Structure 1
Amino acid sequence: MCRTKTVVRRHVAPGEAVPLHPEAVGFAGHYDFAIDVLAAYRPTGKGRVERQVLIVRDHVLSGRSFSSVEEMDAAFTTWVPQRRAQAHRTHQQVIGERAARDHVALKPLPPTPYLVAERHLRPVGKDCLVAFGGNLYSVPARRVRPRQLVEIRATKSQIMLHSTIADSSGETLLATHPRAIGRGVRVVEESHWDGLPTGKGRRTTTGDALPPPRRERPRGEETGPLRALPNRAAATHIEVGRRPLSVYDELTGTRPFTTHPSTRETS
Structure 2
Amino acid sequence: MILQERLLEASRHFGWIRIPEILHDHAEEASKHNISYLEFLDKLLQEELAAKYERFLHTRTRLARLPFKKTLDEFDFSFQPSIDERRIRDLATLGFIEHQENLIFLGPPGVGKTHLAVALGLEAIKQRYTVYFITAHDLVQSLQTAHGNRTIAQKMRALTKPDLLIIDEIGYRKMDETAAHFFFQIVSERYEKGSLILTSNKSYGAWGEIFGDTILATAILDRLLHHSSTINIKGESYRIKEKKKAGFFRPEPAEVNNQ
Q: TM-score range by the shorter chain?
A: under 0.3
Which has the higher relative contact order, 1 or 2, with Cα contacts under 8 A spaced 6 or more apart?
Answer: 2
Q: Who wins on radius of gyration, i.e. which is larger?
A: 1
Question: As a proportion of its length, which structure holds more helix?
Answer: 2
